[in-house]
A and B are shown apart, each in its own frame.
Chain A
Amino acid sequence: MPLIHLGCPSCGGTLSLEEGTRLVDCRYCRSGGLALVPGSVPRYAAALAVSEEAARDVARAALRRPSVPRPLRAAARFEGVTLCYAPFYEATGVRLGRFFLTDRVKPPAPLGEGARADAALQRWLAQPATETSMTRIVQQDVSTVGPACLLAELGVERIDLAGLRRGGGRVQLAPFDPVALRSRAVVFTPTVSAEQFLDRAALRLPARGDETRIVGQRLKLLYYPIWQLRYRYLGRAYEIAVDGVTGAMLHGTAPRSLHAAAAVTAGGVGVLAFGLGRLVRDLGHGTGWLGRLGVADLPGFGSGLALLTIAAGVVLALLGWRWLVGDPEIDLAAGSPLPGNGDPLMHQSTS
């Protein structure tokens, strides 16, 4: 991010500020200053709660599934583990005001059967509803969170930061120290501008009776930690992304083991061949091992069993073949529920 250069009001020395920095100490005269930069967005970093070793354990556990090749299952070795910080915008405010509600109400409909009940129901239907008005005083926190850049390989769309922040328990914010963070992590730069985010986040459906407004609007950039682990198998590189706060699997791929698929296909072909051979033999000679069992005399029995075997062989072979030619990679994060709700790229919350 570009630096902002301003002059110290006390001594005139040049102060170089990272974007979002507001409090500065002049390195020349040691006096404190308050930087007022229009459009500046304050930045925070979510505190890292998952260690590198814990992230490795999550990745290893994800690779321990039967469809992953045995060498990987037994001992996956990660040749690179990188801590990344992905930026998210968070827009917050408080909705204040009144909401007028108008409703038409009637007492509950009379229940029962018979002529008297019918008459009561007719009277109830003819009775006009009473219009009632009610006012609700609204004091409500509103927030919208969304990624400031799309990083599919890190699985940022699976991070429900709004949900994590809502409960106030999972995400501790720390000051954004760009020098310290960049010395130990890859910090991604926002590719979505603040204006673009606010345009997308400005969801306010007009409602009759709504006399509320949003006050105290604030926008901040939150840098979220994600562990990225890389490994190789048969010369091909794969990646796994682990949430640095919750430890959840965000994104990951693994090679699919083909041994089982090949075995099923071969087995299916074998069964198919066996059935075909027996069919030809029984139809041609009318005897064979079915005759020795004494069931060959049953009309159509030998041919029926062979046909069944053929069918089973076809099914197995087809299943195995589909497995073989299917996606060579497994999505390790598939099937994991997306925490929270709504659009994974734009989470809104109110309380």
Chain B
Amino acid sequence: MSTPTILPLRCPGCGGRLHGLPEDVVFWCEDCHGLQELVGADFVPRQGAVAAPRLEAAGRLCHLPVWALRVAASWSCPDPVKAALLKGIAPPEWVYVTAFALHNAFYFGDPGLVFTQRRMRLERADPAPLLGCTRGLELAREFVEPHLLGILDRREDVTGLELDLSIGDAILWGIPYYDDGLTLTDGIVGLKIPAAALDELWTLRTWNEGRR
């Protein structure tokens, strides 16, 4: 694509209006609650769900996107000592990748990495708007191997380790966050991030206020 163009924000599935924040690559349909990712100049449907909160915190409830990618992973190492140590670590079924624009994510604690390390299993809740996805599926896949190796690296040096990995289903989860104005607290593990670290939070708040 070399010339400027405008794509209509219409759901290819149901014709409803698509909503998103200015830098989003995944858009939410207000009618069918489906998700459409912009790939090139086309919209591609993506599977989505909203996670039920496990804890409550002060502030307004909103949802921020995190990819969950089902993985089948196994590892081996020629060093028998390392192999024995790594054998005790079971590979996670899901790898989570943060999908919203969080400045300096690894400084505060990347939500996707934290969920992966804690091997979260999310439960579905009622549909809710899901905006703020600035990281598409293809980019999210790039994080799977580093996330997995990062888990192993915390236990044992991964030099010489051979990782066999395949990525299956992908779901874009809407993680509940409580916004108290200064801090956002996730409703799953209670991870806190400063509000100023979210580049699109101002626009998200304005959009949510408009819907209320």
Contact = CB atoms under 8 A, between A and B. Distances in A.
Chain A binding surface SS class: strand
A168 B109 CA distance: 12
B4 A35 contact: yes
Nearest to B159: A135
Given A100-B159, A139-B146, A173 B202 contact: yes
A217 to B, nearest CB: 10
B23 A24 contact: no
A171 B9 CA distance: 31
A35 B194 CA distance: 30
Given A33-B9, A171-B196, A351-B104, 12 more contacts: A32-B9, A32-B19, A34-B6, A34-B7, A34-B27, A36-B1, A36-B6, A92-B103, A94-B106, A137-B146, A143-B103, A173-B200
A15 B157 contact: no
Interface in A267-319: none
A81 interface: no
A34 B38 contact: yes
Interface in A6-42: 6-10, 15, 21-24, 31-38, 42
A42 B202 CA distance: 15
B79 to A, nearest CB: 11
A216 interface: yes
4 smallest beta-carbon distances between A and B, as pairs: A168-B197, A351-B107, A32-B9, A168-B194
A187 interface: no
Contacts of B206: 175
Contact of A139 (B9, B147, B203): B147
Chain B interface extent, by class: 35 or more
A98 interface: yes
Contact of A96 (B7, B8, B146): B146
Given A44-B199, A165-B103, A24 B139 contact: no
B106 A170 contact: no
Contacts of A22: 22-23
Contacts of B202: 47, 172-175
Interface string B1-44: 11111111110000001111111000100000000001001000
B194 A6 contact: no
Contacts of A8: 6
A137 B157 CA distance: 9
B113 A31 contact: no
A4 B3 CA distance: 11
B128 to A, nearest CB: 20
B1 A168 contact: no
Contact of B149 (A32, A137, A166, A220): A137
Given A140-B106, A141-B104, A165-B103, A10 B8 contact: yes
Nearest to B22: A22
Nearest to B110: A139
A134 B159 contact: yes
Nearest to B107: A351
A9 B135 contact: no
B105 interface: yes
B164 interface: no
A141 B143 CA distance: 13
Interface string B186-206: 000000011111011111001
Nearest to B98: A94
5 contacts: A23-B21, A33-B9, A35-B6, A100-B159, A134-B157
Chain B binding surface SS class: mixed
A9 B146 contact: no
Contacts of A100: 159
Nearest to B151: A137
A277 B88 CA distance: 98
Nearest to A138: B146
A336 interface: no
Given A4-B4, A32-B18, A133-B159, A139 B150 contact: yes
Contacts of A175: 22, 202-203, 206
A141 B106 contact: yes
Contacts of B10: 31
Interface in A159-192: 165-175
A52 B198 CA distance: 27
A165 B104 contact: yes
A230 B89 CA distance: 66
Given A33-B9, A139-B106, A351-B104, A168 B196 contact: yes
Contacts of B21: 23
Contacts of A23: 9, 20-22
B196 A34 contact: no
Contacts of B143: 94, 96, 139, 215
Given A100-B159, A137-B150, A38 B1 contact: yes
Interface string A175-216: 100000000000000000000000000000000000000011
B169 interface: no
A290 to B, nearest CB: 75
Nearest to B149: A137
